[in-house]
């Protein structure tokens, strides 16, 4: 494994972050979605990730309605907490109660406490807001997050997909008020979704914000030939990108590069991520030990400039997706 610094914090994280969205049941013992796995399988993946040198994990309160946090917390309780960097997030409502979603002080305080209970931890390393809340002033949200840091409930705060002007306003507001500042931006970025190269990424680079890419393989689209796309997983924000001519051409070029380098398609996709200077870590999602073992080898794969250009050439701008969620 290779390691880097999480934004400007000086905290060391593995260059691959394990995304935990695929872990969890519904509470009734059934799986939350067809693409999620139960605790036994998830724990095998988490244990293997740690063996392979991954120390960085991303979850959310709303993944399997808390199930992902519970599974992650149980699995990590077997290890030295000091050696792990745990990120979670909130914003999407957990149930019918509107106060279980959004970014009001009430919601942030309640939901962070619930996340800590499920994780079995006194503090998380990174607490992220999953989207921008149109109904709450950013000042209120930042004051609640700042208090969470002062109370020792989270060490750092981060944000996820939103418009760059909103993130700029958040950074400006925290600086103006002397509040804790977002240190990371978790946004959608992959060879089939590069809109952030002209929206969010330049802002992050100029403000030294670490970037964590979600759906780094386009939600799995770049991990296998497009003809074999898994219909079950073909949903969510990244799925809107799967059927264009440009995406298919990129998928075929990933296959070609995988053949040339004698590696898997997933490794090419992750090596592309790691070739991008602003990316701290792609948040790689997997429910399979075999896929994980293969994927981590991407840290040793250097794509040449011409490989990167070849992969990027067919890209055509698309409508921005996955930025706004209306509550």
Ligand X SMILES: NC(=O)c1ccc[n+]([C@@H]2O[C@H](COP(=O)([O-])OP(=O)(O)OC[C@H]3O[C@@H](n4cnc5c(N)ncnc54)[C@H](OP(=O)(O)O)[C@@H]3O)[C@@H](O)[C@H]2O)c1
User: Which residues make up the interface to ligand X (CB under 6 A)?
Assistant: 19-22, 35, 58, 130, 160-161, 186, 214-220, 223-224, 233, 238, 264, 266, 283-288, 291, 294-295
- The answer to whether 140 and 129 have CB atoms below 8 angstroms apart is no
Nearer to ligand X by C-beta: 91 or 307? 91
> Which residue has 């992750």 as its token pair?
270
Q: Is 63 a catalytic residue?
A: yes
What SS3 class is residue 318?
Answer: coil
Nearer to ligand X by C-beta: 22 or 314? 22
Nearer to ligand X by C-beta: 58 or 195? 58
Around Cβ 17, how many Cβ atoms within 10 Å? Answer: 27
Closest CA to 286 of 226, 242, 233: 233
Q: How far is the CB of 131 from ligand X (least distance, A)?
A: 7
Q: How far is the CB of 110 from ligand X (least distance, A)?
A: 20
Q: How far is the CB of 178 from ligand X (least distance, A)?
A: 27
Torsion of CA 118, 120, 125, 130, to 10 degrees: 0
Task: Please pick, among 63, 156, 193, 284, the residue that the annotation labels catalytic.
Answer: 63
Nearer to ligand X by C-beta: 10 or 327? 327
> Which residue has 């944000």 as its token pair?
159
Nearer to ligand X by C-beta: 107 or 161? 161
Q: How far is the CB of 288 from ligand X (least distance, A)?
A: 4
- The answer to whether 237 and 321 have CB atoms below 8 angstroms apart is yes
CA distance to 34, 226, 234, 257, 322, per residue, from 270 (Å)? 25, 17, 20, 12, 20
Q: How far is the CB of 95 from ligand X (least distance, A)?
A: 19
- The answer to whether 5 and 211 have CB atoms below 8 angstroms apart is no
Around Cβ 232, how many Cβ atoms within 10 Å? Answer: 9
Active site amino acids: 63
């Amino acid at each position: 494994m290779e390691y880097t610094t999480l934004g400007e914090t000086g905290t060391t994280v593995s260059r691959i972050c394990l995304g935990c969205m695929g872990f969890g049941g519904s509470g009734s013992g059934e799986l939350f979605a067809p693409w999620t796995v139960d605790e036994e399988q998830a724990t095998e993946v988490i244990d293997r990730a740690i063996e392979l040198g991954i120390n960085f994990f991303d979850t959310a309160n709303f993944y399997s309605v808390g199930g992902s946090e519970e599974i992650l917390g149980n699995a990590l309780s077997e290890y030295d907490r000091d050696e792990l960097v745990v990120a979670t997030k909130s914003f999407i409502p957990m149930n019918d109660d509107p106060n279980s979603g959004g970014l009001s002080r009430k919601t942030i305080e309640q939901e962070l406490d619930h996340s800590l209970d499920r994780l079995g931890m006194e503090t998380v390393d990174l607490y992220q807001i999953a989207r921008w809340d149109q109904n709450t002033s950013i000042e209120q949200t930042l004051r609640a997050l700042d208090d969470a840091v002062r109370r020792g409930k989270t060490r750092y705060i981060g944000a996820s997909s939103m418009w760059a002007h909103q993130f700029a306003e958040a950074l400006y507001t925290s600086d103006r008020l002397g509040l804790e500042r977002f240190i990371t931006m978790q946004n959608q970025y992959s060879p089939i979704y590069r809109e952030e190269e002209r929206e969010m990424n330049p802002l992050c680079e100029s403000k030294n914000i670490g970037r964590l890419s979600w759906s780094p393989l386009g939600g799995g689209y770049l991990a296998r030939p497009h003809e074999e796309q898994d219909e079950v997983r073909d949903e969510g924000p990244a799925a809107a990108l799967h059927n264009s001519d440009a995406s298919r051409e990129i998928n075929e070029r990933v296959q070609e590069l995988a053949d040339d380098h004698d590696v898997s398609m997933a490794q090419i996709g992750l090596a592309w991520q790691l070739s991008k200077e602003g990316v701290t870590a792609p948040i790689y999602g997997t429910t399979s030990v075999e896929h994980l073992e293969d994927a981590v080898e991407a840290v040793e794969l250097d794509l040449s400039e011409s490989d990167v250009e070849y992969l990027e050439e067919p890209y055509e701008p698309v409508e921005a997706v996955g930025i706004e969620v209306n509550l």
